[in-house]
Structure 1
């Protein structure tokens, strides 16, 4: 009789453990969505006929897109609505001839502003004639105090990952100067530095960068109320 009771008790415990076992997938779905109702645009630099910085067979435009896709995934996991200015190996003119940097940048600015986003991030990789030069760096438009604060928050979040000794810096880049949307340009590292090139080609490092940049964005947006979404119009390529 005692053995029967013990068997029944063990079976009952096993059933309870099975029924009430935490569902990992459910926990992930119910995780705190810290960027809900936030709209963020990611601008993967270069593309198409414009490869950006090249070192051997390593192309900046391809890595910019990979880092941007990792960043998009991370931001969406936190509840943000995320748009990319490009999601393939094309610039925004979609021309395979007579590449025009001016036209490409004009279309990027129009597309970024069309989403009425909380902010945008332009992702790039750096290059130098001095191979020992290294470190991530965040640029902002000098006349925008809000962009400077965003640059500071992202820089501070990236520093433990990249180890950079560089400081944020104001710049007159077209994509920063001509957008109405608050934004920064992030140089994730130098392709011309052997150590950084290896890191920047790694999908695991892309994930680390994505988490760090997202942390900086989260810190910044915690101080700012969400923008009011407005209807957007598609940006057509120039003929």
Structure 2
């Protein structure tokens, strides 16, 4: 028993002084950052749709995947909508103008560091690829769009470039933001991916990586090739 005493004392001392090493995956790289996610459409406005696949439902699922990923990196994340309702929360007399007005107010209410408006595209069956839009008068928006676009390219395989625009949600808000078209519902192959929760996770990681890249760029010049 006496031989065990020094060992027990040594073990207790080591336990008091030992500090666990945080892994890279648990790093809170976006701590203290506030992000608003705006899942496009909702309620009576389904957005793009093919058969029984509706854009508004997938926008919300993708947004929740992004929320989970951003929170794992320390960010505080809010959503403009959390269910299948537009911002008016009416099931009659739908007004796109009212919805967009309330959406912009809701985003600014949280005073975020940035916001992302999440959408899906639709055109011909041959069109495909993600695209990131920024308000045409915002240099910070352009930088954010570039960072997110570059991180999404390996996932979506897009050949599109970022684009300036005058979309209301970017024009009417006081907050920095971009609008992300995650892909085309009208393309059968891409539609299959966009319905898949594992693909939502890939998009979430890429978009979050893009936000991290943007934050790094604020401390110095960033070289992003398009």
Give the TM-score of the pair, scaled to structure 2.
Answer: 0.86
Structure 1 residues 106 and 208: alpha-carbon distance in aligned structure 2, compared to 1, 3 A threshold: same
Other-structure match for 1:43: 38
RMSD: 1.8
Q: Is the 8 A contact 2:193 2:199 kept in 1?
A: yes
Instruction: Measure, in 2, the Cα distance between the counterparts of 1:138 and 1:29.
Output: 28
**Residue 32 of structure 1: CA displacement?**
1.1
**Residue 221 of structure 1: CA displacement?**
1.6
Query: Match for 2:182 among 188, 205, 214?
Result: 188
Instruction: Measure, in 2, the Cα distance between the counterparts of 1:39 and 1:172.
Output: 24
**Cα deviations across residues 109-142 of structure 1 (Å, max 9, x unaligned)?**
00101111110000000000x2101000000000
3-state secondary structure, aligned to 1:48? coil
3-state secondary structure, aligned to 2:98? helix
Other-structure match for 1:138: 132
Instruction: Measure, in 2, the Cα distance between the counterparts of 1:42 and 1:30.
Output: 23
Other-structure match for 2:122: 127
Tell me whether 1:147 sits opposite 2:147 in the alignment. no
Structure 1 residues 191 and 30: alpha-carbon distance in aligned structure 2, compared to 1, 3 A threshold: closer
Matched residue pairs, number?
Answer: 201
3-state secondary structure, aligned to 1:189? strand
Instruction: Measure, in 2, the Cα distance between the counterparts of 1:91 and 1:27.
Output: 41
Structure 1 residues 157 and 100: alpha-carbon distance in aligned structure 2, compared to 1, 3 A threshold: same
Unaligned runs of 5+ in 1: 1-15, 21-25, 226-239
Q: Is the 8 A contact 2:30 2:70 kept in 1?
A: yes
Tell me whether 1:56 sits opposite 2:68 in the alignment. no
Other-structure match for 1:158: 152
Instruction: Measure, in 2, the Cα distance between the counterparts of 1:30 and 1:215.
Output: 12
Instruction: Give the alignment of 1:1-239 within 5 angstroms.
Output: 31-128=26-123, 130-224=124-218
Unaligned runs of 5+ in 2: 1-10, 16-20, 220-226
**Residue 223 of structure 1: CA displacement?**
3.3
**Residue 27 of structure 1: CA displacement?**
5.8
Q: Is the 8 A contact 2:48 2:54 kept in 1?
A: yes
Instruction: Measure, in 2, the Cα distance between the counterparts of 1:140 and 1:161.
Output: 20
Structure 1 residues 28 and 96: alpha-carbon distance in aligned structure 2, compared to 1, 3 A threshold: farther
Instruction: Measure, in 1, the Cα distance between the counterparts of 2:150 and 2:62.
Output: 19
Q: Is the 8 A contact 2:26 2:72 kept in 1?
A: no
3-state secondary structure, aligned to 1:125? strand
Instruction: Measure, in 2, the Cα distance between the counterparts of 1:145 and 1:29.
Output: 31
